[in-house]
Structure 1
Amino acid sequence: MLKVRYKIWLESEGGVSIGEGGIALLRAIDEAKSIRAAAEKLGVSYTFAWNYIRRLERGLGCKLVVGVRGGREGGGAELTEDARHLLTLFEEAKAAVDGIVVKLNSRSLA
């Protein structure tokens, strides 16, 4: 049986794109409140995660992650409103396409 499969990514006019991996990184940063912890969770290096975020920020022309000064527990990282908007847009696009794909896959394709 054939099934419809797809990948979604968001792309700027300048060609900067973010897909499932980048979205997973932003979500992990949001949960862990730390780029280092997010990178460890996803099995990538801190340097890779840091450079990826910076490349996105330069390409999109906005901050996605900001550092938070430490207190007793040290510093951390938080997503900006622009990053949250990016997550919402990605999730809405994915949900819309998921609905279409479910309908298509409910048909019998040989």
Structure 2
Amino acid sequence: MQRLKLKIQLYCGDEIAIGPGKADLLDAIIHEGSISAAARKMDMSYRRAWLLVDAMNRCWREPLVETTPGSAKGGGARLSSLGQEVLSHYRALQARVQGTSDCPDYLALAEAMLDEAKISQRG
């Protein structure tokens, strides 16, 4: 049986403003309270997480992630109100798109597709 897997990416010029990985990072920031802890939770480097946050913050009319510098009281990160709104709309869009596996176009494609690819004839 075929599976439908759609990946939604919204572009800002050539930059991905938000996609599945960036949305997961935003969720991790909500739960962990910092970019570094979110990166650890997602098994990625802090630098990679920071670059993703930076890209997101540059693509929207306001930053999606707000940071406070570390100190004796600790620093951290949190989603701005726009960040929460963008993530909520993105997740709703994902849910809506994933619910399309019973649409006639998908069913027609699934019917025409093999369960496994044929062996290559290229030797």
TM-score range, shorter chain: 0.7 to 0.9
Aligned residue for 1:48? 48
Shift in Å, 1:2: 2.9
Kept in 1, the 8 Å contact 2:64–2:80? The answer is yes
Kept in 2, the 8 Å contact 1:16–1:60? The answer is no
What's the TM-score once normalised by structure 2's chain length?
0.73
Q: Distance in 1 between matches of 2:5 and 2:83?
A: 27
Structure number with larger C-alpha Rg: 2
Shift in Å, 1:58: 1.6
Kept in 1, the 8 Å contact 2:5–2:98? The answer is no
1:12-91 matched pairs, under 5 angstroms: 12=12, 14-17=13-16, 18-68=18-68, 74-91=74-91
Higher relative contact order (CA 8 A, sep 6+): 1
Kept in 1, the 8 Å contact 2:39–2:45? The answer is yes
Distance change >3 Å, CA 65–CA 3, structure 1 → 2: closer
| Percentage identity across paired residues of the two chains | 33
Shift in Å, 1:69: 5.9
What's the TM-score once normalised by structure 1's chain length?
0.81
Gaps of 5+ in 2: 113-123
Gaps of 5+ in 1: none
Tell me the number of residue pairs that the alignment of Structure 1 and Structure 2 aligns.
108
Superposed structure 1 runs of 4+ greater than 3 Å apart: 68-73, 104-108
Q: Distance in 1 between matches of 2:54 and 2:62?
A: 10
Distance change >3 Å, CA 9–CA 43, structure 1 → 2: same
3-state SS of the aligned residue for 2:111?
A: coil
Shift in Å, 1:106: 7.4
